[in-house]
Amino acid sequence: MNPGPADAAIDQAVAWLLSPDAEGPLLATGDSAAVIERVQSLAACRRMTEGVPCGTCSGCRGLTPDILRVSGAEKPISIATIRFLRTQLALFPLADRRLVILEHAESLTPSAGHAVLKLLEDAPPTARFLLTATLPGRLLPTIRSRCRQLRVPPAAAATLPPIRLPLPTGIGILAAVDSVQAETAAIIGDYLLEHVRRSGPTPAARLALLRLRDYYRVAATGGNVRLATEVLLASLLPFAHS
């Protein structure tokens, strides 16, 4: 099999996991799903042969307290979750190696972020912390600076076709748009997240996501939806058919 673009990053993550020395936290950015899968399967197995998980031990069947995985994909990661992690780490201190995975760490709430920082400072040397973030700029700088960063390239060098929305091309048409239907907003959100997944958080995508967030906020609070819509649509022009 030809090496994929992410293979070098996966190798680095594996070396980090299996290092006999204490290793600081690793922050994987970009297309980190394959890194998580590989690191988790290696950390789980109790009867690995030459770097290959056995597939049958209790760890491989998912029955291990040695892996703690939390994802912020659906909702923000709360301080309660981090406190739970802390108790879990304290409960089983004898394992050879503990792996804590914090997926989408940019969605840590501020208080949870500070709790994670404390956790990183106090963690036993056998613990490995793998953080992933699509938008690492949203992490606490103090967390970022503690982590070794690993940029994972997209699995395939694919770019999205232009967004298929009836996008206005001029201010006159923009002004005629009264509102974006909820369904359209959801399509815009999916499109932007897919764009970020494939191409990383480009400045245009970041801006559009901020505008989309503003749009939702304004729509939820009964603000000036028309203005928010215009601003949102304008931010999408870099993604539209030219």
Contact 128, 99 (CB under 8 A): yes
Closer to Zn ion by CB, 69 or 148: give it.
Answer: 69
C-alpha angle 208-156-52 in degrees, rounded to nearest 5: 125
Minimum gap (Å) between residue 47 Cβ and Zn ion: 5
Kindly state the helix (H) or strand (E) to which residue 184 belongs, with its residue range. Answer: helix 182-199
Minimum gap (Å) between residue 16 Cβ and Zn ion: 20
What whole-number distance in Å separates Cα of residue 174 and Cα of residue 164? 17
Contact 155, 4 (CB under 8 A): yes
| Residues near Zn ion (CB under 5 A) | 45, 47, 53-54, 57, 60
Closer to Zn ion by CB, 52 or 210: give it.
Answer: 52
Minimum gap (Å) between residue 186 Cβ and Zn ion: 40
Closer to Zn ion by CB, 46 or 164: give it.
Answer: 46
**In the numeric block, which tokens belong to residue 149?**
């960063």
Minimum gap (Å) between residue 35 Cβ and Zn ion: 19
Give me the residues paired with residue 101 across strands: 69, 130
At residue 222, the 3 state secondary structure works out as coil
What whole-number distance in Å separates Cα of residue 68 and Cα of residue 116? 14
Closer to Zn ion by CB, 56 or 111: give it.
Answer: 56
Minimum gap (Å) between residue 56 Cβ and Zn ion: 6
Closer to Zn ion by CB, 52 or 90: give it.
Answer: 52
Closer to Zn ion by CB, 45 or 77: give it.
Answer: 45
Minimum gap (Å) between residue 54 Cβ and Zn ion: 4
Contact 130, 15 (CB under 8 A): no
Question: In which order are the strands placed within the sheet that holds 26-30?
Answer: 67-71, 98-103, 127-133, 26-30, 148-152
Contact 189, 23 (CB under 8 A): no
